[in-house]
Chains A and B, each alone.
Chain A
């Protein structure tokens, strides 16, 4: 067993650990926003560990070549770019379709943002004061 095999196997073990943590967070968290937050972060980190680990592990074996590491890095970068986009789209869809927050939640920045935008557009008489200061 060479050093590359050992490094790759440790990375795969770490990634597997984070996969199981993401599945546990998906089961235990109270509402859909907390579930998405825990599960996406740890699943992305677990994917990076497993995929890069397989690439390094294959370099240490007799059948492996540099193409393994190149292809696994391509897959890992693709997952790292697209997982936050899909999480953002899903949570935006959940908020727009009216799913309420958990009763223990204390901060709702997106609601404050929407309220600020609506009051700004519905009360145009505040804008001459801002224009006078300029």
Chain B
């Protein structure tokens, strides 16, 4: 999990200059990177990758009126608290995922008793807490278990037995694929019949490869499938031509962030924040994640999540 941030400084002849910093997803390094970018005169920052690091760095950008567009920081507070007026993102926030998961569990799967688990991490626990909130507000299902598991523990069977004991028909898990695959295979090993719903951290092909046949039937939410878009294909081709490899995670949304930023600079004709922000909030841009514009809070309209299900060793979008 590297946290590469790039930002650009626009010079006289609309020449974009890239300045790249790495914050390794650590808050203390993120503030260092942010101060460096600000002191180098960056006007637009594409990043940061991790929510925690973004949170740490944002006050610095807010003060310097630097536009920040994150492709991957999904923490809801970043846009909903209103504390960071210069922040935009090209990915939907966590609560949207939890909402989708809960609606799907109750509406489509008819869940009555839900066990909510998380990995005690920032991302996973946030997802779990939102899921809990939506389930309680909806009042159609009850939460029979809400618990954190320890990443790196030698064995999860006690927690898995607890799931059985709680009589849950559905498990919602907030966290990443390493723990998810352990949980799923333990659940299968212990012959427990439950639906397993998780988040974007699990919607990763590695999860299927690690969990193997145990992964069949697992649901995970992830960004809408945009691989059919022409622009998306083009972007991936360009990446392959340039670096000779397949692009990594968040490539689409980072590319989208870059396009939106370039568009804002070009249309505004300057790197003045207010002028750029006006463009961001009013003009639609075609990007690899769809045609987007930003709302007043900085969330992208037109970017969202779909539910995916593992079928024959592949994630398939549920229509």
Do A and B interact with each other, yes or no? Answer: no
